[in-house]
Structure 1
């Protein structure tokens, strides 16, 4: 195929005529140095978790949830169980993990750490690696278009962006953002450079399958952004469509075939297996980018006027989901780059792509200063289709920082005279300073010795135990305790995606007299005596056919002891930090 405006030199990493051998040596020297630097930054960011390893984590209930997932995958595989379905939670019905962001690939990769040091340590290691590896992969990809320093700047922006920092509060499936830069690289190979379409398609299929086993949401939104990018390229290079269509289609067909084979088992379980759900998992029009999000700092930033931070708290959705902040200086710089380097192929793509994705991130209706204006926006059409109605528009900020990083890398790379290089570096640094993250707030867990010591052997095998505090989205520490026992028992309750009585998704099991009483007493909304008067309580207790009750540290402990003693018909006994009841229905007991 003849060289076109889309092609770059195959002889060098930058495509600008430098000596290939010398460039290759510099590339291999730069890569480990950048990785080490990013890892050091990430360790500093999560330092509190490293000073209290195995106890302090980031993200509260979500962190406990992902720690459980990291423990479940190696346990299931080692015991010949289906890693995508579990009956250890939400007894007796179980959970379809493919609907619950189970990160099975990360569970496999972190298995040695989990087995040797426990799920909390594995979670801390992965949480720390996520920004560093995401930024490093972005750096490696951008080396195709720029020298090491500009690529490192792009990696720094991408890996330590407000999106990744916000996701680091427990959303491990989102903070591991390696896939979008890899997708950029492989699509460049397939659509632009057209290097061995079958091989590139196979690699893309493997990458798609891997991402699906980390986060299907990121995979789905990446596909949307890729389609937009391809549409922009088609408009900009109409004369190239016919020349490139056949090879591109062939590569994408190989990608689809490879991904289908690799994902056949988990996707079958997800859509045809037990405990599958339908309907939207997340509410619509909540986790979106407010129009002011892009210029308003949030509590995630170290620098920002108090009045502006307070303004950000008015935006809809959880504060960690408000991740589209760039600041006026960086937005002005990106606009300048888009205009100044509009003839550069990568900038010509990323400028319009940034604008289009920013509009999509606003959600189905325009939000302004925390108010829903009712003005319809393009995302409204996308969420009508399958899969995307479960995606949160505010999380599209991931692709905004990818596009911004690419533009900055090209701009820094093209600054040739030393004086101009220094000026561009200073301007870029000044524009990035407002994005410096604030100190992350850790979450400290407490695990009674019962769950990690020899006394847990008091529980017979095949035990179904009611663990209190009862696990639900706002308080799921019992899931961590279960994982730390090596899944010694199954238990009712969970913080996970399960179907309600109509098959629609819910983040907790169906409310019944037992779990509602346990939650109400634990939160101080009801006394034990009032809860015992609730109709159907004894029947709900008997329904679970419990073998044991375990009461751990919790608020309103004495009231819960009264409630559980009455339900069990006898007092429990104190064992290594918990109150334990072994019921007559326990296996091996009369």
Structure 2
């Protein structure tokens, strides 16, 4: 059996161990339940739409009757297609958890494969381990599937290396087995590299446009550093790079013509930044202060990291003092290595960009401007979150460690053992803490034939009303095989004043439902709101459903008043106003 396959199995086992609380009940548990629900909906929706001849990119199945262009959210279209067999057999939640478990292993094995160009099996495996199981990956696993499935950055490095490095390199033996070419794998033509890169770009765009955009930024910075080191070579290679980019644009443009046309020229397109600036950034202390996602995180230290702007999922740049010290030593020791010479300034530049547009110090936003402020004005990159650039820092760190360990592989045993101990000590602070999944279960009504009482294609008003913090109705709709259109959503839609919002347009109806559920308005007060009945009549739902919710009795009283009917009790604690069906 190939070694890479054994290593991939080991990475998968580590991923299962890291995400073990999911696998207690993989069809009904999730991390970051709001975002997990969003991905669950998309994972089920894409194959459903394709299988029924529907447009997978624009739909009124959520945010009815207006609809939404799902490409402005994170629909992981390609992953939804690939995991469709699991979705059909075990449901969309199990499919999401399968992908979340595979993502770090796939990312790690991609990093391993690229690191093998410069190192043997063991050192390259360390690079894959750091890249695939870093604090970035642990944080992104809590609901951000599009960020955890990250084989593209290593693949981009490999393709650029193919194009820019001349001549076949020396071959060596690795435990009696011929290894892959290291350092110089043989020159590849611009056309071949461009075609492969175009395929990779198209695939990545259908998983995460943000990761594609930041990879392009980091790749361009790397090429710029190479040009500074080797200006004459850069001029000689400029034509090759241009041809490669031309072939890449041709392939990617053909494959992405439909989705990009829908996204940027179709309905419900978003203008301006999607995310707020100066929130999800790396604090100056982020690199050395652990978060609750690390196993070694004393309480007094957490007092600082919990004060950083952005939530714990986005505070993902932690590397730890031991690893940073080791990397600083390696920057001096390996400074003559051609790859490390590029990685050192690239690491510094990307770390600087990850700090955002203004310097944050221990949770305090200063007025000190930083280079990311200029990047924020660029298309697409303006919506990227700078804290997520920590992914590339772990890639650079992993490569540096692999090159160092490779240099020591044929040294005396005590020296190799010492290096192994140093590497283990540097990586120990990054060991993740136990992650705790929460229940993601739909009421029995939506998972059985009971839901068939709702005619397919009906518009349904559901409480809890779907919104970013409580999108359970979208999970229920997915389990019901998208039988009905859903008023409201957790989705990205154009905001009235420009930019984006993550919910449908507010109305007296949504205000009444949300405030009654929250307990800040009584049903009688809600029924007296101006415009409430007009908003309900404008929506004209075919059915109203109330599932398990806060202040459920008050919500039932509100809908009773709106419909003039009493509900029918359905399995799983669901109240259904069947009398509201239109003839």
The alpha carbon displacement at 1:461 in A equals: 2.5
RMSD: 1.1
The alpha carbon displacement at 1:446 in A equals: 2.9
Out of 339, 359, 362, the residue aligned to residue 355 of structure 2 is 362
Query: Which residue is 1:99 aligned to?
Result: 72
Query: Which residue is 2:146 aligned to?
Result: 173
Query: Which residue is 1:507 aligned to?
Result: 502
Pairing of 1:148-227 with structure 2 (within 5 A): 148-193=121-166, 194-227=187-220
State the TM-score, normalizing by the size of structure 2.
0.95
Deviation per residue, 1:219-266 (Å, 9 max, x gap): 001111001100111111223112222222211111111111111000
Conserved? CA contact 1:91–1:493, under 8 Å = yes
Deviation per residue, 1:51-107 (Å, 9 max, x gap): 212111111100000000000000000010111111100001111011011110000
CA distance in 1, matches of 2:54, 2:304: 49
Matched, 1:580 2:576: yes
Pairing of 1:549-568 with structure 2 (within 5 A): 549-568=544-563
CA distance in 2, matches of 1:188, 1:116: 41
CA distance in 2, matches of 1:277, 1:244: 38
Conserved? CA contact 1:338–1:347, under 8 Å = yes
CA distance in 2, matches of 1:192, 1:265: 35
CA distance in 2, matches of 1:526, 1:190: 65
The alpha carbon displacement at 1:460 in A equals: 1.5
State the TM-score, normalizing by the size of structure 1.
0.94
Query: Which residue is 2:329 aligned to?
Result: 336
The alpha carbon displacement at 1:504 in A equals: 3.1
Out of 392, 395, 410, the residue aligned to residue 388 of structure 2 is 395
The alpha carbon displacement at 1:419 in A equals: 2.3
Unaligned runs of 5+ in 2: 167-186
The alpha carbon displacement at 1:280 in A equals: 1.2
CA distance in 2, matches of 1:31, 1:284: 41
Deviation per residue, 1:281-324 (Å, 9 max, x gap): 10011000000000000001000221111110110011110000
The alpha carbon displacement at 1:570 in A equals: 0.7
SS in 2 for 1:342: coil
Query: Which residue is 2:346 aligned to?
Result: 353
Query: Which residue is 1:431 aligned to?
Result: 426
Pairing of 1:334-483 with structure 2 (within 5 A): 334-415=327-408, 416-417=410-411, 418-483=413-478
Figure out how many residues of one structure are paired with residues of the other and give that number: 560
CA distance in 1, matches of 2:433, 2:112: 23
CA distance in 2, matches of 1:102, 1:446: 21
Query: Which residue is 2:228 aligned to?
Result: 235
The alpha carbon displacement at 1:553 in A equals: 0.5
CA distance in 2, matches of 1:273, 1:526: 39
SS in 2 for 1:125: helix
Deviation per residue, 1:360-392 (Å, 9 max, x gap): 000000000100111000000111111111000
Conserved? CA contact 1:499–1:505, under 8 Å = yes
The alpha carbon displacement at 1:525 in A equals: 2.1
Query: Which residue is 1:267 aligned to?
Result: 260
Question: Structure 1 residues 503-512 or 291-300, which shifts more?
Answer: 503-512
Conserved? CA contact 2:226–2:234, under 8 Å = no
The alpha carbon displacement at 1:136 in A equals: 1.0
SS in 2 for 1:529: helix
Query: Which residue is 2:33 aligned to?
Result: 60
CA distance in 2, matches of 1:223, 1:528: 53
Query: Which residue is 2:112 aligned to?
Result: 139
Conserved? CA contact 1:54–1:121, under 8 Å = yes
CA distance in 2, matches of 1:216, 1:579: 40
CA distance in 2, matches of 1:354, 1:524: 50
SS in 1 for 2:238: helix
Conserved? CA contact 2:568–2:578, under 8 Å = no
Conserved? CA contact 1:546–1:583, under 8 Å = no
CA distance in 1, matches of 2:579, 2:136: 48
* Structure 1 residue ranges (4+ consecutive) displaced by more than 4 angstroms after TM superposition: none
